[in-house]
Amino acid sequence: MTQTICLALPLLPDTADADRDEMLACWRGERAAAHRASRARHGITREATWIQPSPGGDLAIVLLESDDLAASLYGLATSTDPFDVWFRAHVERVHGVDLAAGMHLPEQILDYPACAPFAQLPHWIFGGDPVPRSRQ
């Protein structure tokens, strides 16, 4: 069963551009292959990151999914793979967080599953006709 976590990590002053550039390189740039290999090695099935401006400074919003988040996070924190070592250094540089030292994880306080199973959704949500065929 997939486990999901979402983290809000403050970006240190003047590091949002560096974080944006490096995360884009991991997504679809020169670090993409190493990033995919790292996430596969650690059992991470989804990772998404957003930069959220706020009155107190920019935040990186990070979503991770894995069948075993504890094992995935431990792997990221302790791996000696060159990409993982680089990634930990990047996180410390832009967030001031040392993943190898551990961190407090967020407390989930709401989980509202609004979406019905795919088969129960009206067909027009996925690009079909908005008027049910039985009314045409």
What pTM value is reported for the model? 0.80
CA distance 47 to 61: 10
Sorted by where each starts, the structural domains of the chain and their CATH numbers stand as 3-103 (3.30.70)
Question: In 3D, which of 114, 89, 111 has the Cα closest to residue 100?
Answer: 89
Q: What is the pLDDT along the chain (136 residues), one digit of tens a residue?
A: 899 999 999 999 999 999 999 999 999 999 999 999 999 999 999 999 999 999 999 999 999 999 999 999 999 999 999 999 999 999 999 999 999 998 888 999 988 877 655 555 554 544 554 444 444 4
Q: How many CB atoms lie within 10 A of CB 132?
A: 11
Burial (0-12, 13-18, 19+ Cβ within 10 Å), 36: middle
Provide the strand spans (E) within the chain: 3-10, 44-52, 59-66
